[in-house]
């Protein structure tokens, strides 16, 4: 599996990006502002992440997604670790990420990759998404924010 920056002539894998964020409008917005990286296997995209510079010395990982048929194989962890290394090599000092309160696998993944919880953006998903979203039998309401010094 190869992880690389999406080439300018390539279309972003919207089907994958929408697995991590159901708002096409928000995804399109941060694709315009960020850098998209893809994990390719057998010439197919199996994973994706997007990085956006948010402040001097700080970058945010705004979307990490793995093809549903490939989940549970360590691809997500490889993507997150690649994002951290990419940020570090690019000269950033801090990387941030946010995920939903009901995203149990992601909450564990980010902590396994060295992130620490920093704050909770209460009602984030109620303010920014029109329809109710449920994961693991829990309504998605709050954004749990993480950061890591790199």
Instruction: Encode pLDDT of 74-84 as tens digits.
Output: 999 999 999 99
Count of C-beta atoms within a 10 Å radius of residue 107: 17
Residue pLDDT, tens place only, 49-96: 999 999 999 999 999 999 999 999 999 999 999 999 999 999 999 999
pTM: 0.92
Model pLDDT, residue 23: 86
Model pLDDT, residue 102: 96
Residue pLDDT, tens place only, 21-51: 888 999 999 999 999 999 999 889 999 999 9
Based on the structure, what is the number of domains in the chain? 1
Asked if 115 contacts 147 with a C-beta cutoff of 8 angstroms, the reply is yes
Give the separation between CA 2 and CA 44, rounded to whole angstroms: 10
The residue among 21, 22, 23 whose CA lies nearest residue 60 is 21
Task: Indicate whether 131 pLDDT > 90.
Answer: no
Q: Is 28 left (phi over 0), alpha (psi -120 to 50) or beta?
A: alpha
Model pLDDT, residue 129: 87
CATH assignment of the domain containing 50: 3.40.630.30
Residues 112-127, mean pLDDT to the nearest whole number:
96
Domain that holds residue 98: 2-149
| pLDDT range class, residue 144, cuts 50, 70, 90 | very high
pLDDT above 70 covers what percent of the chain? 100
Give the separation between CA 148 and CA 110, rounded to whole angstroms: 10
């Amino acid at each position: 599996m190869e992880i690389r920056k999406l080439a300018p002539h390539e279309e972003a894998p919207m089907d994958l990006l929408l697995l991590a964020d159901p708002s096409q409008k928000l995804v399109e917005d941060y694709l315009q502002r960020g850098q998209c990286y893809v994990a390719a296997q057998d010439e197919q995209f199996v994973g994706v992440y997007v990085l956006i510079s948010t402040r001097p010395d700080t970058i945010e990982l705004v979307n990490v997604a793995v093809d549903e048929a490939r989940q549970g194989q360590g691809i997500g962890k490889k993507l997150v670790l690649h994002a951290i290394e990419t940020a570090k090599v690019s000269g950033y000092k801090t990387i941030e990420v946010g995920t939903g309160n009901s995203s149990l696998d992601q909450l564990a993944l980010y902590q396994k990759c060295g992130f620490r919880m920093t704050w909770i953006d209460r009602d984030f998903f109620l303010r920014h998404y029109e329809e109710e979203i449920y994961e693991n039998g829990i309504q998605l309401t709050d954004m749990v924010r993480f950061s890591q010094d790199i």
